[in-house]
Amino acid sequence: MSIDTGSLERLVPDEVAQGDATGDETLRLHLERYRFAAQHARAGRLLDLACGVGYGTRLVADEADAVESALGVDLAAAAIAYARRRYARPGVEYREGDGIRFRDPDGFDTIVSLETIEHVPDPQALVDNLVSLLRPGAVLVASVPTTPSADVNPHHLHDFSAVSFRAMFTRHGLTEEAAFAQVQPYRVFRVLRRQEQRVEELRPHLLRWFLTHPGAALKRALATLRWGFTNRYLTVAFRAPGS
């Protein structure tokens, strides 16, 4: 069982190709998000849901001194196998599991789930499950793209604004502790020509696809007029009620 290291959705730090500017920038953004999560982690148990190959789980566990144990969970067996080989240590373990169905009776003091909810058919169901795993006063750190991505990236099923993203968590009574915004410029013609390995998976025949999805085309046009040729991401640390 192998990992497609060139996939849009499987970032493996050790395997980012030389000269892959998109891969280098994507890795930088992911590491920044995990460092933001480490800054807001609480003492006790950490869960990293949709951990991929596990580098972020290990980063938070190493940089947040208060974290006593860390568990990375991902649906992909190959990713978990890689994580166990490359990033496991005493106090950091990895387990295969589905985010919506994952259960743990003891709960967690910190939960991290980055660039996850746009991938699942029912984002609110995933958020509801994450919230159910929080101990009183725990912190949940999550992130999404806040510019359109479902048109270009076939792995993304939903688009979010900053408002719609926050609403999924605040409806549970969580309060916002801190937020971290990121901007990633992209070279539109380089992307359309698929000149890097990591963009080869972008939706084919995109202009033709827009003709049959006029709503998505309008959303893309409005976002480009407002933000230019950039992708924008929002990471928020929410705190659960309780001491």
Using one digit for the tens of pLDDT, what is the confidence trace for 153-184?
A: 888 999 999 999 999 999 999 999 999 999 99
In a domain, 191, yes or no: yes
Cβ–Cβ < 8 Å for 110, 45: yes
Asked if residue 36 belongs to a domain, the reply is yes
The alpha carbons of the chain give a radius of gyration, in whole angstroms, of: 18
Domain annotation covers residue 3 = no
CA distances 194 to 4, 181, 188, 202, 231, Å, are: 17, 27, 10, 8, 17
Q: Is the pLDDT of residue 72 over 90?
A: yes
Domain total in the chain: 1
The Cα–Cα gap between 210 and 42 comes to: 44
Give the residue-averaged pLDDT of 44-60: 97
For residue 148, which of 208, 33, 227 has the smallest C-alpha distance? 227
CA angle 213–161–197, rounded 5-degree value? 65
Asked whether residue 5 is assigned to any structural domain, the reply reads no
| Residue recorded with tokens 């980055």 | 114
Tell me, what CATH number does 69's domain have? 3.40.50.150
Q: Is the pLDDT of residue 107 over 70?
A: yes
Q: Residue 219 falls within a domain, yes or no?
A: yes
**Per-residue DSSP letter, 41:** P
In this predicted structure, what is the pLDDT of residue 205?
A: 83
**Could you tell me the pTM of the whole model?**
0.90
List pLDDT tens digits, range 53-65.
999 999 999 999 9
**Domain residues for 180?**
13-239
**2 lies in some domain:** no
